Structure 1
Amino acid sequence: MKQRLLFLLLFTLLSIQALAQVQGQMQQVRPPGAPGNQQQSTTDTNYVYNRKPPYTFKRYFNSLAGKDSMNITRMWAGSIIVPGTAQLYNKEYWKIPIIYGTIGGFAYAGYRNNTLWQETGDKKYKTTRDLCYLGAALSYWGSILDGVSNYKYYKDVLPARASLYSAMVPGLGQIYNGDYWKVPIIYGGFITVGYFISSNNSQFQRYKYMYYETSDPDSPLFGKYNAQTMKYYKDTYRRYRDYSILTGIVVYALNVIDANVFAHLQDFDISDDLSASFSPGVIMPVNPQLTYNIGPTVGLNLKLTF
């Protein structure tokens, strides 16, 4: 009888201890944001420590002054808004007056020739005006490309630079990556798309004219052709033209994506060494909020080498 009572007492004490441990773990794992949630506090603290500070205008101007750094995308965007800022960040100050002198010179020459064309009506001034404005645009574009190409980076290949290259000059990112064979494919795609855009637009303009003529009672073509048939072909070729334009946009986007992806793969190990190994290890919870036990546990690590 005494042994049974002693066993019952011991069982009761162990049950109370186990229940207290479970309640303590449940108290640690409370709903997110609940007071006393240790896991939530740990997660929030890690998030605050790991979160990068926002990039402000103050940091941008400090970067231009050489007191901070910026990535190539921000430098590129800034040079689009204010030409020459990329050269300022790259410390190539001597290029800035050349950039503004070239852009300003072409723009002024275009303005003067436009004035002369309006006064005299001579088409040579109109042609010169267009060429000067084109020169100003190319000078502006060249200043942006120059800033991207001279951005300092510790690796030979920068994926963002490859993307910007292909965005500004399709195929240039592929040349930067060493994939020269892709350039004729890219421009072949653009030429094909351009052909279909031109062809479908010509047919669209043709049937558009025919539709208006067959719908006009005063036109000699009125009643000779069915206006609804002309409208059908007009809408069809307009749709084909729009599809061709969308295809051109897709080709352009694929050109940029390809440059970025294969620039990332420059550091990827593609050797034939493929192996797998198991080893004991300590596993930490991926998300402490979803487990009752926030402590580490022992398990196996699988390591693949390829």
Structure 2
Amino acid sequence: MLSINFGFTQNKKDSISVKTDNDLIIIKDTIARGPIDPLRPSKAAFFSAILPGLGQAYNKKYWKIPIVYAAIGTGVYFYINNNNQFKRYRSAFKSRLAGFNTDEFWGVDIDGNPLASPRVSNDGLQRAQEQFRKNKELSLLITIGLYALNIIDANVDAHLLQYNVDDNLAIRPHYQYNELENSSDVGLTLNFKF
């Protein structure tokens, strides 16, 4: 007697299992973005070039305005101070070259008469002039650099205010049904779109 047995097996399914599509369920972003103004960075830079800090006010970064004025004001202060000192030493040096001994660096005795030899020599006056001229020029360059940095800050800040990361970089929750394990997967996805 010949007997053939055929056997079929079935996977036992849960009575709670839910059949869903393999598509991701994505929750839409609720942030509404305004239209992008391509001239906003150039406007902010222009405003900062006209009046330092005005570009920061245009970008609504009001806390940066005192920093801009403190930086530029410090550079202007050092420029004026070094220029005044340079003029003092230069006028004393010119006075000595003309044959006078009454400048402030010559010195006087108790009675108010000029001393026999000066407290600061002619070489000392020349070195002081050179030093204060270098300091004056350096403070002018630093002030111009801070002014340019004010303009660059307003421009870059205006660019970054409009930078949109909603579509290119997003973390979104997702729900996916895993058919191999007969279970559902819940998680977060990080999507990069270039």
Q: TM-score, normalised by structure 2?
A: 0.57
* 1:269 and 2:157 aligned: no
Residue 66 (structure 2) aligns with:
184
* 1:253 and 2:141 aligned: no
Per-residue CA distance 1:90-138 (angstroms, 9 max, x = gap):
xxxxxxxxxxxxxxxxxxxxxxxxxxxxxxxxxxxxxxxxxxxxxxxxx
Aligned residue among 66, 75, 78 for 1:193: 75
Separation in 1 of the partners of 2:100 and 2:161? 68
Identity of aligned residues (%): 34
Change (3 A) 1:260 1:169: same
Question: After TM superposition, where is structure 1 displaced by more than 4 Å over at least 4 residues in a row?
Answer: 220-223
Change (3 A) 1:176 1:156: farther
Separation in 1 of the partners of 2:149 and 2:193? 30
Quick check: which one's helix share is greater? 1
Q: Give 3-state SS (helix, strand or coil) of 1:273's partner.
A: strand
Q: Which runs of 5+ in 1 are unaligned?
A: 1-152, 276-302
Q: Is the 8 A contact 1:214 1:223 kept in 2?
A: no
Q: Is the 8 A contact 2:44 2:56 kept in 1?
A: yes
Of structures 1 and 2, the larger Rg is shown by: 2
Give the counterpart letter for 2:140 in structure 1.
Answer: I
Shift of 1:305: 4.6
Matches within 5 A, 1:116-195: 155=37, 158-195=40-77
Which gives a bigger RCO, structure 1 or 2 (Cα 8 Å, sep 6+)? 2
Change (3 A) 1:209 1:270: farther
Give the counterpart letter for 1:228 in structure 2.
Answer: D
Shift of 1:273: 3.2
Shift of 1:216: 3.1
- RMSD of aligned alpha carbons: 2.9
Separation in 2 of the partners of 1:244 and 1:195? 9
Change (3 A) 1:218 1:262: closer
Shift of 1:253: 0.5
Q: Is the 8 A contact 1:162 1:173 kept in 2?
A: yes
Quick check: which one's strand share is greater? 2
